[in-house]
Amino acid sequence: MQIAPIKIMCPICGTVDWYDILMSAFIAAREPDLDLRPPEMLRSSMSMWAHECKKCSYVISQSKNPFVDPVFLNSEKYIDCDGVALRSDLAKRFFREYLIALEVNDKEKAAYAIRNAAWVCDDNGDGLNAIECRKRLCNILPDVIKASRRFPKMLKREDRKKTENLILLYADALRRSEQDAKLYALCKKILFGSKRLGEALLYQAELAKTNDRSCHTFDDLRESEDSKQ
């Protein structure tokens, strides 16, 4: 992994500080999890994906740092992560990034931030809060998916891939937060997309039927497909 310290100015209070930023990473050949969570090596760089300003507590992201009223950063909701007792500072950081994004109504940014908080909870063995983060993720993802398909006929290939990835994320979050009825409804509703998406949705539904809430990868999916042949 290539890491470089970079000077960044907080967009809220103007404090300038040095932050480690990931410049490039070795991408392992291993398949990601079904929600596209990358393998451990890349995940270990997550502390560089967002930084908390030491002065005003604003969470500075790698892209898009919207203005938010500093009063919000001092609110109980922000400081206490909306009452969710997260175990790690990194999970709290992503959770606060999610709260800022929600405050400015950027649901897409909020979705990726709360997804990251769930991944940190997974790595910390903080199962209950991982479920809480995924429930919150499921509350906003349908709107994000809808917005990503606003003009389906004009979508470019990378846009279609983004929509598919959001659906993969949604299906996994639904299963892992025990929202099976919504998962089955999603499987019935999605009649477009790649073979990979179709297989992943069916596999998610199969796992839900056996009450399997654990983490699975695309390698598991392939093994399951192979065993059926």
Note whether 10 binds Zn ion by CB under 5 A: yes
Question: Binding Zn ion by CB under 5 A: which of 22, 56, 84, 155?
Answer: 56
DSSP codes joined into one string, 111-180: HHHHHHHHHHHHHHT-HHHHHHHHHHHHHHHHHHHHHHTSSGGG--HHHHHHHHHHHHHHHHHHHHTT-H
Measured from the CB atom, the residue of 10 and 197 that comes closer to Zn ion is 10
59 binds Zn ion, rule: CB under 5 A: no
From 12-20, 100-108, 116-124, 134-142, span contacting Zn ion (CB under 5 A) = 12-20
Cα-Cα-Cα-Cα dihedral of 188, 194, 197, 202, to 10°?
Answer: 50
* Shortest separation between residue 224's beta carbon and Zn ion, angstroms: 48
Q: Look at residue 22 and give its three-state secondary structure.
A: strand
The correct pick among 49, 58, 94, 218 for binding Zn ion (CB under 5 A) is 58
Tokens of 119: 């991944």
Minimal distance, residue 58 CB to Zn ion, in Å: 5
**Stretches 6-14, 101-109, 178-186, 202-210: which one binds Zn ion (CB under 5 A)?**
6-14
Beta pairing class for 16-24 and 59-61: unpaired
Q: How far is the CB of 117 from Zn ion (least distance, A)?
A: 20
When asked if residue 53 is in the footprint of Zn ion (CB under 5 A), the reply is: yes
Alpha-carbon gap, residue 155 to 198, rounded angstroms: 19
Nearest approach, Cβ of residue 16 and Zn ion (Å)? 10
CB of 10 to Zn ion, least distance (A): 3
Stretch that binds Zn ion, among 57-65, 87-95, 128-136, 189-197 (CB under 5 A): 57-65
Does position 78 bind Zn ion by CB under 5 A? Answer: no
Burial (CB count <10 Å: 0-12, 13-18, 19+), residue 128: exposed
The answer to whether residues 205 and 189 touch, using CB atoms and an 8 Å cutoff, is no
Query: Rounded to the nearest whole angstrom, what is the least distance from the CB of residue 12 to Zn ion in the complex?
Result: 5
Question: Residues in the site for Zn ion, rule: CB under 5 A?
Answer: 10, 12-13, 15, 53, 55-56, 58
